Chains A and B, each alone.
Chain A
């Protein structure tokens, strides 16, 4: 079983739509949680950290459910520039390494 599981997609949605991604992680000792964004043939870039209380950054909202070991990302009013692969990332307890999901590919259509 993979440590971090994501639906690989692809998700194709029209511009302006709301889209949600989910991810589950297997290690209950995981300490930190992130969403990274990766454009085609580019490096991953941090989109946002995910906190237990949930957090919002503009059009992006992230939620963490530790009991269910589940992380979500909601994108509202999607833009063409949101097209990318979204990576769910966790850090295991006691280590600083990042553990990546396979990524969810999103395409926003005009």
Chain B
């Protein structure tokens, strides 16, 4: 079974340009998450989709970031215009829902290999 895939693996852009990152989750996973790691810092949550709906976007840094998941399959994360502090590794993760004794909860999150973004 294919894992989470991300494209591109690397992107180098100039400040002020636009970049779009893509994530293809594991087939059948309704939950899709975006995370980011900037140099020297911990991995931080950006947002969470359940199918095509944004469940939690509390981690999005500002309105230069736009995430979409049309049709509830793959997702894109667009940064426009990019700033120097946007450099880092952007990870996507997906998970399926699990019905347990206390209701639905999310199962293990599987991460993609990440997109390394460098803004110069």
Q: Enumerate chain A interface residues (CB-CB to B < 8 A).
A: 2, 4, 42-46, 87, 95-103
B112 touching A97, Cβ below 8 Å:
no
Q: How far is the CA of A96 from the CA of B59 in the complex (A)?
A: 13
Of A4, A46, A100, which is within 8 A of B108 by CB?
A46
Known: A43-B114, A44-B91. A98 touches B109 (CB 8 A): yes
Does residue B44 face the partner (Cβ distance < 8 Å to A)? yes
B106 touching A96, Cβ below 8 Å:
yes
A98 touching B114, Cβ below 8 Å:
no
Of B42, B44, B48, B114, which is within 8 A of A96 by CB?
B48
Does residue B33 face the partner (Cβ distance < 8 Å to A)? yes
Contact with A along B48-59 (1 / 0, CB 8 A): 100000011011
Contact with A along B101-117 (1 / 0, CB 8 A): 00001101101111000
For residue B114, give the distance in angstroms from its CB to the closest CB of chain A: 6
A99 touching B45, Cβ below 8 Å:
yes
Q: Enumerate chain B interface residues (CB-CB to A < 8 A).
A: 31, 33, 35, 41-45, 48, 55-56, 58-59, 91, 93, 95, 105-106, 108-109, 111-114
A43 touching B42, Cβ below 8 Å:
no
Q: List 28 A-B pairs, Cβ < 8 Å.
A: A2-B42, A4-B42, A42-B113, A43-B91, A44-B43, A44-B91, A46-B108, A46-B109, A95-B56, A96-B33, A96-B48, A96-B55, A96-B56, A97-B33, A97-B45, A97-B48, A97-B56, A97-B58, A97-B59, A98-B33, A98-B35, A98-B43, A98-B93, A98-B109, A99-B45, A100-B42, A102-B41, A103-B42
Instruction: Report A-chain residues with C-beta under 8 Å of the C-beta of B43.
Output: 44, 87, 98, 100
For residue B83, give the distance in angstroms from its CB to the closest CB of chain A: 23
For residue A88, give the distance in angstroms from its CB to the closest CB of chain B: 10
